[in-house]
Amino acid sequence: MQAASRSVEAAIQFLKFILSTRQSHSPNGFAVSKVTFMNEDALIEHARGATRKAYAPYSHFHVGCAVESVDGTVVTGANMENACYRLGVCAEISALTAAQASFGLAKIARIAVAGGNLASGKLSGEQAVTPCGGCRQSILEAAQLSGIDIEILCASGDGRKVERHRISELLPHGFGPANLKDAG
């Protein structure tokens, strides 16, 4: 009975989000959401906190990512390096995988990324960290599934610099599910 009650509550929250969202459309056809559930600083702090879970013994560059759903749920991920360098996993992919398991890619509202050097438990770095090309491709997949031009908050390790981008800006001519309509 509790599971059914949680499912009903989640559905109500999702409908409230849909009904309360004022949307405009970007030139590429994505809906641009005007509703957020967590302030930017809090979402960035989730991403900065996730850097402490990174495994980065080779580059010493710790990256964390926080993904917020349309109902306000937040999941995080961190990068994980490997001695066989090409087998490493980016923080964004780690967080997107957690998002898929928790609430589904089509319900992603916003993403925050932060990274830098983690020494003595303190994250440092002055440059805003943006997703790599492969991560941008994966974020585009989620954006095309939801129809929302996902906002990405890109923060420096020290948290002083924040850039705000939409996935359509970071990957303007991306290839995703919409491009496979003729595949049959």
- H or E segment at 140? helix 133-146
Give the 3-state secondary structure of residue 121: coil
Decide if 80 contacts 88 (C-beta within 8 A).
Answer: yes
Catalytic residues: 92
Written as one letter, the residue type at 13 is: Q
Model pLDDT for residues 78-124, shown as the tens digit of each residue = 999 999 989 999 999 999 999 999 999 999 999 999 999 999 999 99
Query: CA 15 to CA 9: how far, in whole Å?
Result: 10
- Distance in Å from the first CA to the final CA of the chain: 42
CATH code, residues 18-173: 3.40.140.10
Query: CA 144 to CA 162: how far, in whole Å?
Result: 25
Written as one letter, the residue type at 138 is: S
Query: CA 5 to CA 63: how far, in whole Å?
Result: 36
pTM for the full model? 0.81
Model pLDDT for residues 128-168, shown as the tens digit of each residue = 999 999 999 999 999 999 999 999 999 999 999 999 999 99
Model pLDDT for residues 30-57, shown as the tens digit of each residue = 544 444 578 999 999 999 999 999 999 9
